Structure 1
Amino acid sequence: MAETSDHQRAGGPDGPPSRTGRRKGGPRGARGRLFPPPAWWPLPACALLGLAAGGAYGVLKTPEYAATSYIVAVPDDTTDPATALGFAQAYARIATGTATLAQARPRAGLDERQLRTRVRAETSPESPMIAITGTSPRPAKAADIANAVADALTLTGNQAAKNTGVRLLLFSQAMAPTEPVSPSAPISGAVGLCAGGLAGGLWLLARPGGRRRTEEWAEPGAPAAAGAVAEGAYAPLPAQGEAAGAATAREKERAR
């Protein structure tokens, strides 16, 4: 009985038990094994990263407001309406020029370089109308920029009306907007989610093929055991001729 109790206290043939109750030389349980992550893990990881980046951009970015004023080109009695349409296209190109912005700068309250980045002019190929849009973090400032450039362009165009036969009239003044044109945080987050998911899918398609090495995720000593099993499983078998020769030799010995 004493020997048995000493043997149990020592932990058996595998050595003394550890603090966790397991023997040092015994096999590890299923909970201690390491399992590789799924092959598609970059897809949700990139999608979540894009969602976080897009949401942060929508929250941290300053809202941008836009206001638009409209100018119409009106031909006189001696001018063809198609000519007014052509001049509307030409005036839209010079709306952001140096001469026009120099006249609009005092009213807009910005220098020429800043004013150039906050105004744009658009026109339609079907109607002689010019849209002047001003942008600013403040709604009232966006309307002031659009109206200042529209007034300057109208003044420039009417100075040459005797030669062109086309006059510019202010059709509608810009009003201070109530809603920003910059994307909100939910929209930015949705765009970031889609972009991140697309990037993760492209990464999965573009990465080189091949299986992961199981040795990277196995326990210490497992690769050697697996190699030993593989060597035993694929050991070369004796040839049929050698086996037949050995059987014939044994029969001759028995006959003797």
Structure 2
Amino acid sequence: MSTPMKAPRWLPLPLGIGVGLLGGLGYGLAATPQYAATSYVMVVPQHADSPTALGFAQAYGRVVTGDAVLAGARAAAGAPVDRLRGHVQSQTSPDAPMISVTGTASGGAAAARYANAVAQSLTATANRTAATTGVRLLVFSTASAPDAPSSPSVPLATAVGASAGGLLGALVLLVRPAARREESAAAVPPPAKSLPARETV
């Protein structure tokens, strides 16, 4: 009677890579493309020094998604405040008084519109108190509609999926020898205890 063939020990590795590759490819093809566009706002000192302008840039960068700024951008963006809050983010530089305002959307034109509307609203909101703060904000660079989406990238999603699957397969290979050793150790019966010799009278 022939014994059944055992699967190769290395099988989990290519199997994991294949499954991960297909999963990443499916995600990249099915997910909605997202476009990103960035507008830049600069803090210009009027009656203040450069370190002060840098400090105000950090402070204004944290209020980009605040209610006052988003409410002022609502009309120009053509989107409610809640939607803008989920599609706009800001970033500041530790070395320059610059604030980047990035809008994301399923279309390039909408992403640029979100970024520019919020940047303009931030500038207008901050300049109302310019006499007190000693700094003014100006839009240094407006966002333009990108030609290609920023995410998801089908090749990148496929590569990430294949890498994750390969890592999972490698972990299975590492765990299986330990499991086999434990099974072998459990299959070996413990040594029998010898009974004490019976004393004869």
Q: TM-score, normalised by structure 1?
A: 0.68
Equivalent in 35, 49, 52 of residue 80 of structure 1: 49
In 1, the alpha carbon distance for the partners of 2:124 and 2:11 equals: 62
Amino acid at match of 2:179: G
Question: Aligned runs of 1:19-168 on 2, under 5 Å?
Answer: 28=1, 33-76=3-46, 78-168=47-137
How many percent of aligned residue pairs carry the same amino acid? 52
> Is the aligned partner of 1:178 residue 2:147?
yes
- The Cα shift of 1:74 comes to 0.3
In 1, the alpha carbon distance for the partners of 2:171 and 2:87 equals: 36
Amino acid at match of 1:55: L
User: After TM superposition, which residue ranges in structure 1, 4 or more long, deviate above 2 angstroms?
Assistant: 206-209
Gap runs ≥5 in structure 2: 184-201
Amino acid at match of 1:201: A
In 2, the alpha carbon distance for the partners of 1:199 and 1:106 equals: 49
- The Cα shift of 1:166 comes to 0.3
- The structure number with the bigger radius of gyration is 1
- The Cα shift of 1:33 comes to 4.2
Q: Does the 8 Å CA contact 2:41/2:98 hold for their aligned counterparts?
A: yes
In 2, the alpha carbon distance for the partners of 1:115 and 1:79 equals: 32
Partner residue in 1 for 2:179: 209
Q: Deviations over 1:100-145 (max 9, x none)?
A: 1111112212222211110001110100011000000111000000
In 2, the alpha carbon distance for the partners of 1:202 and 1:98 equals: 48
Give 3-state SS (helix, strand or coil) of 1:141's partner: helix
In 2, the alpha carbon distance for the partners of 1:101 and 1:203 equals: 49
Gap runs ≥5 in structure 1: 1-27, 214-256
In 2, the alpha carbon distance for the partners of 1:93 and 1:102 equals: 16
- The Cα shift of 1:175 comes to 0.5
Q: Deviations over 1:134-173 (max 9, x none)?
A: 0001110000000010011000110010000000011111
In 2, the alpha carbon distance for the partners of 1:186 and 1:168 equals: 40
In 2, the alpha carbon distance for the partners of 1:118 and 1:194 equals: 29
Amino acid at match of 1:202: L
Partner residue in 2 for 1:18: none
In 1, the alpha carbon distance for the partners of 2:59 and 2:53 equals: 10
Q: Which shifted more, 148-157 or 108-117? A: 108-117
- The Cα shift of 1:184 comes to 2.1
How many residue pairs get aligned? The number is 182
Q: TM-score, normalised by structure 2?
A: 0.86
